[in-house]
Every structure is written in structure tokens, then in C-alpha cells.
């Protein structure tokens, strides 16, 4: 039975597990992620792991929440920079959705349909619903602000909140679309949407 940890130790160990989990997800993906490897890298016993996370999937969700918070903060910084027009600002938002999914290793794992399926099988419908609702709230609020500021056309913000998931779906189909034309297609989609949505 693992010994008790002080609150300071608990915070440090949890942070280490999340850090090691983030590195491991980027390196091996979700299918090959193993608790044994995580605890070895974090310097704790396997039994101690379950004091912090009820499962490997719970750790993955914690890592995804951290990555998502970082991505949102970076998006907000980018959107604060001056734009020549509403269309440019909307295009910047759309381009970032593709960029962050490609650039951030943990999110990039989700662009692999098989890896995404592993995650979807491992979380409960309630957990998935909560995550989707949080995304919808965040993006709907952003778009409502843009509509109030005269940046964005009057389009249902709930529908628009699905744009990041649409970017993920397109990235998951990159191979089928063809890597030789994928970047040009994405730019066409971004430009078309920005033209349609800008005031």
C-alpha cells in the first residue's frame, strides 16, 4: 500500500504525471500509452498512480484539459492583435484551429481517426457531452462578442461553435483528401468562410 503524500507532494506528483502523460501521448499516442511507463517516468509506484487518477483515460482527459486551456489562451492573444478587417480576424481564427491541431502534439494525436476512436471509446458519454458543451459555450461566447462588436454576420453561434470540430474532422480525412492538395483546400475553406461570415 502506498504511503500517504503531503498536499505539496500530491500537487508535485500530479503535475509530474500530467507532464509525463503529455510527453508520452505525443510520443506513442493513446493506443500504446501505458500506466507502467508513466509511473516509471514520474518516479512513483503503480498503486500510487491510482491515488491521483482513477484510470489512464482520466489522466488523458486532464492532459487534454490543460492543452485546451493553453490553446485557448494563445488563441485569445492572437485575436487581440490588430487586424485590417473583420475578414482577416475571422480567417486568423479559422487558420489557428487547423494550426493548433497540427502543431500541438497531444491534439495532433486526435487527427488520427484510430487514436480519436480510442479516446471516444474510453470516456463516458457524460464526459464527452461535458467537454463538447464546454467547447460550445466557449466558442459561442466568442462569436456572440464578435456579433455584438459588428465583426461577425448574424449566424447561429451554436452552429459556428462547431467550426473547431469541423477543422478536426477535415484533418482526420487529410489522407483521403490527398496531402498534395490538403493545404490549398484548407486555405480555400478558410477564405470562403471568412468572406461569408465577415460583416
Q: Which three cell numbers stand for residue 49?
A: 498512480
Give the tens place of pLDDT for each residue, 49-97. Answer: 999 999 998 999 999 999 999 999 999 999 999 999 999 999 999 999 9
State the number of CA atoms in the 13 A half-sphere of 134 facing the CB.
11
Catalogue all structural domains in the chain, each as residue range(s) with its CATH number: 1-53 (1.10.10.60), 57-197 (1.10.357)
Q: What is the pTM (predicted TM-score) of this model?
A: 0.89
152 backbone dihedrals φ, ψ, rounded to 5°: -115, 140
Q: Detail the DSSP E strand segments found in the chain.
A: none
Q: Report the C-alpha gap between 25 and 54 in whole angstroms.
A: 18
Q: Report the C-alpha gap between 183 and 30 in whole angstroms.
A: 26
Give the tens place of pLDDT for each residue, 149-176. Answer: 999 999 999 999 999 999 999 999 999 9
Would you place residue 3 in the very low, low, confident or very high pLDDT band (cuts 50, 70, 90)? low
Q: Report the C-alpha gap between 139 and 177 in whole angstroms.
A: 27
Give the pLDDT of residue 2. 47
Amino acid at each position: 500500500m502506498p504511503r500517504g503524500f503531503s498536499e505539496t507532494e500530491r500537487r508535485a506528483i500530479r503535475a509530474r504525471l500530467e507532464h509525463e502523460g503529455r510527453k508520452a501521448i505525443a510520443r506513442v499516442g493513446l493506443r500504446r500509452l501505458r500506466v507502467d511507463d508513466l509511473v516509471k517516468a514520474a518516479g512513483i509506484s503503480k498503486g500510487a498512480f491510482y491515488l491521483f487518477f482513477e484510470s489512464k483515460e482520466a489522466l488523458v482527459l486532464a492532459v487534454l484539459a490543460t492543452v485546451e486551456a493553453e490553446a485557448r489562451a494563445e488563441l485569445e492573444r492572437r485575436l487581440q492583435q490588430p487586424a485590417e478587417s473583420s475578414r482577416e480576424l475571422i480567417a486568423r481564427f479559422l487558420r489557428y484551429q487547423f494550426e493548433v491541431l497540427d502543431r500541438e502534439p497531444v491534439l495532433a494525436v486526435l487527427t488520427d481517426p484510430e487514436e480519436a476512436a480510442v479516446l471516444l471509446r474510453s470516456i463516458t458519454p457524460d464526459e464527452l457531452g461535458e467537454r463538447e458543451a464546454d467547447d460550445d459555450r466557449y466558442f459561442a461566447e466568442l462569436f456572440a462578442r464578435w456579433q455584438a462588436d459588428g465583426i461577425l454576420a448574424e449566424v447561429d453561434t451554436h452552429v459556428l461553435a462547431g467550426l473547431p470540430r469541423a477543422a478536426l474532422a477535415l484533418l482526420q480525412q487529410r489522407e483521403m483528401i490527398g496531402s498534395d492538395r490538403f493545404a490549398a483546400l484548407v486555405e480555400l475553406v478558410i477564405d470562403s468562410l471568412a468572406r461569408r461570415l465577415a460583416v
